[in-house]
Structure 1
Amino acid sequence: MIAFIDMHREKFGVEAICRILGATECGFITSRGYRASKIRPRSARSLRDEMLVEELRRIHQENYSVYGVRKMWHAMRHAGWDVGRDQV
């Protein structure tokens, strides 16, 4: 939702977008909540996920980009990453 607001804030404004979106599946966001999310430090999970994406791309390319989820999960564990299949 934050990315959506970032894309359209110049045209419509943050307050108007938050008012129109109102209650959503992932919760209610206000303009105050949006501004707070912009200065809040990134979570440990999002930082780790970013590292995992880079590593997944590297391992996938090393294996000719043919590995599926199961083989990628095994390759990640073989490379020393303790990840679940849902993270692959």
Structure 2
Amino acid sequence: MAAFIDTVKDKFGIEPVCTVLSRFVWKIAPSTYYAVNSRPKAERATREELIEEVILERWYDPAAGREVYGSRKM
């Protein structure tokens, strides 16, 4: 939800977007949005990003323009 608000906040503002979302889609307060954005990233999320980088680095060969390894080798 916070990612969606990030995409439209420059055009509409955070509070109006939260009001419309709360009325029609999902209840979210502006304070919840601010809390989510001020919270530090979880250690697990940081670790998973690093693992994803390593896997993609080994899986995709930009010189050949294709995937190098299949699921068994990965």
Fold shared by both chains (TM-score > 0.5): yes
Match of 1:54 in 2: 53
Structure 1: 5+ residue runs without aligned partners? 76-88
For 1:67, give the aligned amino acid.
Y
Report the alpha carbon displacement of residue 66 of structure 1 after superposing the two structures with TM. 4.3
Match of 2:31 in 1: 32
Give every structure 1 segment of 4 or more consecutive aligned residues whose post-TM-superposition deviation is greater than 2 Å: none
Residue 19 (1) aligns with residue 19 (2): yes
Q: When the two structures are superposed, what TM-score results if normalisation uses the length of structure 1? A: 0.63
For 1:13, give the aligned amino acid.
G
In the alignment, the residues of structure 1 paired with residue 42 and residue 28 of structure 2 have an alpha-carbon distance, to the nearest angstrom, of: 18
In the alignment, the residues of structure 2 paired with residue 50 and residue 34 of structure 1 have an alpha-carbon distance, to the nearest angstrom, of: 23
Q: When the two structures are superposed, what TM-score results if normalisation uses the length of structure 2? A: 0.73
- Number of residue-to-residue matches in the alignment: 68
Q: CA RMSD in A?
A: 1.9
For 2:47, give the aligned amino acid.
R
| Percent of paired sites with the same residue | 34
